[in-house]
Structure 1
Amino acid sequence: MKKALITGANKSIGFETARLLLQQGFYVYIGSRTAENGEKAVAQLKADGLENAAYVLLDVTDSDSVTAARKTLGEKTDTLDVLINNAGISGGMPQSALDATIDQFKEVYDTNVFGVVRVTQAFIDLLKNSPEPRIVNVSSSVGSLTLNSDPTWFAYDLNASVYNSSKTALNMYTVKLAYELRNTAFRVNAVDPGYVATDFNNHQGHGTVQQAANRVSKYALIGADGPTGGYFSEENNPETWEIPW
């Protein structure tokens, strides 16, 4: 049975992605910052007949928590087939490039960028034991420098300098990670789940968490001939999904 770890998976997009992978026959570890939320998420999945789920205490902003989570998983399995770096925060809006504070940047980057690095580095050994390891970094189209430079793009005027730049940094990490793993069976991609209605945006999005989960899980399930080092957004390119960096 293949195994997946999803950070920030006790609710929303991460939770629905866990559901989809469970339906595909995976054993899924639900990354959660609190035991209460993790237990609640697992109980809900099991109530829906999806038994192969367990929560793992995991705060991506805390190195000790990440280390402890790696130890916990290492006691349960020596292989991880999929890592989905889903945990993320917006940092609150608006975020002016002139007025946003350094503390705002630090807080958002600690989750959206440094958290991904912490988790990826901690679990890479388990992933290397898989014959078909997959890493999906949940990004956003607002991290695209090309799209943000286009006055006709729908989010051109979005006042989110902190969040946008954190996703741009995440995209670069994805590119470099894919490059370092280029001669292996790894497939590493950045995926935009789309503008969906979640707590993240006060439910202002027009899509559903189920749609978002389908987009994310697609790249967790790609075969050996699938892309690596790519950046994908169905909303911005319904035909091939690939969008410019």
Structure 2
Amino acid sequence: MTTTFITGANKSLGRETARRLVEAGHTVVVGARDPQRGRAAAEAVGARFVQIDVTDDASVEAAAADVAAHEGTVDVLVNNAGVSGPQTPAEELTAADALAVYDVNVFGIVRVTRAFLPLLRRSANPLVVNLTSGLGSFAATHDPDRVEGRVVAPLYTSSKSAVTMLTTQYAKALPGIRFNAVDPGYTATDFNGHSGPQTLTEGTDAVVELATGGPGGPTGQLRDRHGVLAW
């Protein structure tokens, strides 16, 4: 049985990932900051809930200890939690704004990965999937024919560039664990007022493919539902 832990899994992409992996036979642990929403999501998809605030060291360590006590190992870690940041003109952005975005999108991944490494190392086929975005891709954001090329969001986009680089560096530094970054694509979620043309199922295709792919899969890649991406 494959055990999967997902952060930010009480709604949208995280919840749909949890639903699909439960359906695929995984033992899924839904991680979320809000206990009421997290428990409701876990019950709805047939998973177990563990509270986790990725911006809080003690909360992250407590979540890892909870999983160690109940599941004992983690085969797949999905760092899904993320925030879009303030809808503020670039000239009005502050360092505090930047810290708040990076604290979830980037530093949260560092916190969770560090805390869950002992559990991943107990797995015969450990995998970490970090949710990034095409908005963090230099190739995509410099292409005027792509939607990413028309978006201006300095903090969110730069944080997702950092996520992709962080992922590839972890893949080099920890060769016993596969690390990949996934761009869900322009999916209808709360982030974009549900304006994205993709469904939640389409937006989770790449994560599910990696999580159910078995041993010998890729590492150090940026992928979407169609394959490997330039970044």
State TM-score, norm by structure 2. 0.95
The alpha-carbon deviation at position 165 of structure 1 amounts to 0.1
Secondary structure of 2:74 counterpart: coil
CA contact (8 A) 2:128 2:178 kept: yes
The alpha-carbon deviation at position 211 of structure 1 amounts to 1.1
More helix by percentage: 2
Question: Could you tell me how far apart the structure 2 residues matched to 1:85 and 1:162 are?
Answer: 19
The alpha-carbon deviation at position 43 of structure 1 amounts to 2.1
Q: 1:71 is matched by which residue type in structure 2?
A: A
Compute the RMSD of aligned alpha carbons. 1.4
Secondary structure of 1:87 counterpart: coil
The alpha-carbon deviation at position 94 of structure 1 amounts to 4.7
Match of 2:209 among 218, 221, 226: 218
**Which residue of 2 is the match for residue 131 of structure 1?**
124
Match of 1:141 among 134, 139, 151: 134
The alpha-carbon deviation at position 2 of structure 1 amounts to 1.5
Secondary structure of 1:155 counterpart: helix
Cα 1:79/1:17, change in 2 over 3 Å:
same
Match of 1:242 among 219, 228, 231: 228
CA contact (8 A) 1:93 1:159 kept: no
Residue 17 of structure 1 pairs with residue 11 of structure 2: no
Match of 1:110 among 88, 103, 109: 103
Question: Could you tell me how far apart the structure 1 residues matched to 2:58 and 2:51 are?
Answer: 11
Secondary structure of 1:75 counterpart: helix
CA contact (8 A) 2:101 2:156 kept: yes
Match of 1:75 among 69, 74, 77: 69
Match of 1:56 among 47, 50, 62: 50
Which whole-Å deviations, capped at 9, do the CAs of 1:153-176 have from their partners, x for residues lacking one?
332121111100000011111011
Q: 1:54 is matched by which residue type in structure 2?
A: R
Moved over 4 A (4+): none
Question: Could you tell me how far apart the structure 1 residues matched to 2:134 and 2:54 are?
Answer: 22
The alpha-carbon deviation at position 115 of structure 1 amounts to 0.4
The alpha-carbon deviation at position 95 of structure 1 amounts to 5.0
Question: Could you tell me how far apart the structure 2 residues matched to 1:43 and 1:33 are?
Answer: 16
The alpha-carbon deviation at position 208 of structure 1 amounts to 0.9
Gaps of 5+ in 1: none
CA contact (8 A) 1:38 1:57 kept: yes
The alpha-carbon deviation at position 9 of structure 1 amounts to 0.4
Question: Could you tell me how far apart the structure 2 residues matched to 1:40 and 1:224 are?
Answer: 32
Q: Percent identity?
A: 43
Cα 1:174/1:100, change in 2 over 3 Å:
same
CA contact (8 A) 2:67 2:73 kept: no
Q: 1:203 is matched by which residue type in structure 2?
A: H
Secondary structure of 1:166 counterpart: helix
The alpha-carbon deviation at position 78 of structure 1 amounts to 2.2
**Which residue of 1 is the match for residue 172 of structure 2?**
179
**Which residue of 2 is the match for residue 156 of structure 1?**
149
Question: Could you tell me how far apart the structure 1 residues matched to 2:74 and 2:158 are?
Answer: 30
Question: Could you tell me how far apart the structure 2 residues matched to 1:206 and 1:95 are?
Answer: 26
State TM-score, norm by structure 1. 0.90
**Which residue of 2 is the match for residue 7 of structure 1?**
7
Secondary structure of 2:106 counterpart: helix
- Which stretch shows the higher mean deviation, 22-31 or 68-77? 68-77
